[in-house]
Amino acid sequence: MGVNEIATPQFHIEVTSSDGAIVSPDPEGTDLDGVGAASALVVKTLVGFTQERPLPGMTRTTTVTARDKNGGLSAATALRFKAVRYQDQTVRP
């Protein structure tokens, strides 16, 4: 790195399941422009993981965290949801 270059902070984004297991570890980390960018990536990652279809009646909590290079928590979000099956109520001619 040159004298005038500024280091880009690195964050580790991890996804944790209901039972506390790390579903998606991030040992390499990701260079981001700061905590705001890390927070945005946390939310984007959470939305991506909620696209999976759980079985009806299944309750699941997914947590996504961003930690700095020293392991300090920079951003976190969690979503707890229960999958239900709705009967199709569409009116057909």
pLDDT tens digit string along 2-28?
555 667 889 999 999 888 889 888 999
Given this model, what pLDDT does residue 4 score? 55
* Tokens 């909590």 found at: 61
Q: Tell me: the pLDDT tens digits for 46-68?
A: 888 877 766 777 788 889 999 99
Q: HSE on the CB side for 67, CA within 13 Å?
A: 13
* Comparison of pLDDT for 13 and 87, the residue scoring more: 13
- The answer to whether the beta carbons of residues 9 and 34 sit under 8 Å apart is yes
pLDDT of residue 91: 61
69 in Cβ contact with 29 (< 8 Å) = yes
Give strand ranges (E) for 21-72. 22-24, 30-31, 59-68
Phi, psi of 89 (to 5 degrees): -105, 15
List the domain boundaries for the chain: 10-82
pLDDT over threshold 80, residue 93: no
